[in-house]
Structure 1
């Protein structure tokens, strides 16, 4: 299947992301979108990323553009460096998906591309021309990009924000692993390095594998940790556990982070925990389709209505977007309108420590509503689309599908099928926008009920897909 745009940029099999394919998409991006002072390029640690990054750089320089090669660094660090320089950016990453796939994330000088920008790129792609500029654009390096990203959080939170905490850093193949260690120590924490890998490991922070969950709990017990933390491959999605090794869901990290920053307006997809609407400090909650472009669009709309709005966005995967200058414990924290993994790790830990309680206690203080999510992999797109269409359009088929779970009380078609059941639980079905996967999200009153509902819903989806 040819590379295509999903919820997080262009994605495809590595064998399909040829120099010609990459070059065509880069040229289309440069023709369709503003580039400001030039193009910054970064990459994650999967084996194919250096080659693809070289293809991006070569294509941009051939158009006469000045290029800054930032090397391997987190996606939000690249975005911060590029926006600070008034430049566009391309991040080479497949995020959490397996190493046989990769992708490109595109940034304007003002931040992530919108769906309108994506459409413009695709239109320009159809008119591709490989004509080169008379002279190749200059090539620069930016070794300070990672340090600037770390400094952002040290300046805002201060050298004692995490003092006294013993934190496990699940390093695996996250491109942020070394920067995270530096940052956590600079904030006063003791860091225990765990499971660093020389080969790429696709860690999905929204659907943490059972074996990984077991390791997290074992590490907490063995090393007497206050938490274990990590990110996905390009560090725009966080993973954080409490002292027992229990994973704190990304949308809960979003709520805790928003509270810590003093946010008042929340933009978050329909897949996020509905508990967010029950926080008194949040005066407005805007629900969107899944994907950071939709969250950003909602944030920009909120800021257009009120430029002083204390607005943030977050997704169920934990990626956090900050739309206003917040007051950190040690200094101001400027906005960063791109999905970030560091803030929703640092802010909840620092806030809990400052309040004299554990992370688990901070989570327990929130309104009791629990989510769970997982995915079925290697699902043909046609099969996913056929099942979703049948359940959407045929109420009788939908009722039969839901019968083992309960009776439908309401249906939300904002993104996929989000079905409210009569007992108050929720089942949300949605094919992935950037991988051959089918995702299932659920919500219930207790964590045990949510996990049980998820297991049953996944089984039903698997059987239904097998019939298509």
Structure 2
């Protein structure tokens, strides 16, 4: 049986592979594994979701599972993933559950768990939750069944937290920003936080109806955002994804600023302020070689991890580092967050813009990106396709061809039936040619 957990929780087609029955069982199992047993009161679990229509169904199932295990449930409603993680820590809850498939299309949904303090789970805890699914347990009855409450001021607490991270109200006065909310979980809290921080805010794709989340918008579809930045004469644009745990940016001319560039801006600013622990940035192997070269030039060490913000988080915690993230826009600042937070990331970048008076394009120019091509190949079984002998041979041939002047990274997606083929090379033409060749072999396999 394949492992349920991917790189970011359990995801699937809502009501098909991710059913209410599975959601209920996962929630009950998580309550048993993540809550301390030596207690005098029931464990407390916070539950949030993004605005997908299926989230209403799955929330009901998750709440049923938690309460059936004797947990007290506190519903926080539609909020970003980082807001739920923050509130788990602030309320001293025993665990948190976020119902979201992040950047995935609307028919999908997912379940993410947080341990006490708002921290993502390591492999050991996820394996324990899966193992517990097949175990028998005594169900509480009577007064021992869990109860359900609503947290009404969770959004306000999170907004205040975001604004305080850049020094309070009016810290960003003079900057104009367009925010693409992806019709997702941050449609209310992100624009309000930026306004309170002093920025002039234009909102696009901020009207979720349960069906339009991530639909040709947000961090995975930046065309509308780029056009809006130019149209409104804004200083920058912020593209969030459905649960707002990541973001990408658009500069004033409409050009994309990716996660590598955002991390570089933040790393240099934090180093200059004496806040970059060990002068070290943590990133994944997917980051562009240009980031590594830029950090070397600025005297900053780059530590690489496997793909997935959870691995970045583990390295940040183990090494005591202050900044890490992914090219895709998951950026983590442990001083303020226990997980990636797209709204927080761009607030920090805008604070650097306000402090230095430099436009985003100038700040981002410290990274010269090596041409990089990423092709997502749909497959029936991502693990089998990625390990096929013909595919491995094609990768080895390409690496010999590039001869150290570039690199090839091939990996199965952690959340979808895709094999990701990434190639960096001295020119875009070479990168594209090599990537397409390998992708063709993957398709054939």
TM-score range, shorter chain: 0.7 to 0.9
How do 1:191-202 residues align onto structure 2 when only pairs under 5 Å count?
191-197=201-207, 198=209, 199-202=211-214
Q: Does the CA contact (< 8 Å) of 2:9 and 2:113 recur in 1?
A: yes
For 1:66, the equivalent position in structure 2 comes to 72
For 1:40, the equivalent position in structure 2 comes to 46
For 2:129, the equivalent position in structure 1 comes to 121
Structure 1 distance, partners of 2:436, 2:22, is 38
Runs of 4+ in 1 over 6 A off after TM superposition: 203-207
Deviation at 1:302, TM superposition (A): 0.7
Structure 2 distance, partners of 1:104, 1:398, is 34
Gaps of 5+ in 2: 37-41
Deviation at 1:457, TM superposition (A): 4.3
SS in 2 for 1:5: coil
TM-score where L is the length of structure 1: 0.83
Does residue 1:385 correspond to 2:384, yes or no?
yes
Does residue 1:430 correspond to 2:438, yes or no?
no
Deviation at 1:79, TM superposition (A): 0.5
Q: Does the CA contact (< 8 Å) of 1:373 and 1:439 recur in 2?
A: no
Structure 2 distance, partners of 1:61, 1:282, is 51
Q: 1:182 aligns with which of 192, 196, 199?
A: 192
Deviation at 1:293, TM superposition (A): 2.2
Given the superposition, is the C-alpha separation of residues 259 and 34 from structure 1 closer, same or farther in structure 2, using an over 3 Å criterion? farther
Q: Does the CA contact (< 8 Å) of 2:373 and 2:435 recur in 1?
A: no
Does residue 1:170 correspond to 2:180, yes or no?
yes
For 1:398, the equivalent position in structure 2 comes to 395
Q: 1:227 aligns with which of 202, 221, 236?
A: 236
Structure 2 distance, partners of 1:245, 1:268, is 26
How do 1:40-439 residues align onto structure 2 when only pairs under 5 Å count?
40-87=46-93, 88-110=95-117, 111-129=119-137, 131-135=139-143, 136-157=145-166, 158-197=168-207, 198=209, 199-202=211-214, 208-209=220-221, 212-213=222-223, 215-261=224-270, 262-263=275-276, 264-278=279-293, 279=295, 283-303=300-320, 310-323=321-334, 325=335, 335-364=336-365, 366-370=366-370, 372=372, 374-376=374-376, 378-382=378-382, 385-390=384-389, 394=393, 397-400=394-397, 402=398, 408=400, 421-422=402-403, 424-439=405-420
Q: Does the CA contact (< 8 Å) of 1:265 and 1:282 recur in 2?
A: no
Q: Does the CA contact (< 8 Å) of 2:181 and 2:241 recur in 1?
A: no
Moved more, 248-257 or 98-107: 248-257
Gaps of 5+ in 1: 304-309, 326-334, 410-420
Q: Does the CA contact (< 8 Å) of 1:37 and 1:86 recur in 2?
A: no
Structure 2 distance, partners of 1:149, 1:168, is 20
Structure 1 distance, partners of 2:412, 2:325, is 20
Higher strand share: 1
SS in 2 for 1:104: strand
Deviation at 1:282, TM superposition (A): 5.7
Structure 2 distance, partners of 1:453, 1:162, is 42
Q: Does the CA contact (< 8 Å) of 2:86 and 2:338 recur in 1?
A: no
Report the RMSD for the aligned CA atoms in angstroms. 2.7
TM-score where L is the length of structure 2: 0.87
Structure 1 distance, partners of 2:138, 2:120, is 25
Structure 2 distance, partners of 1:282, 1:302, is 18
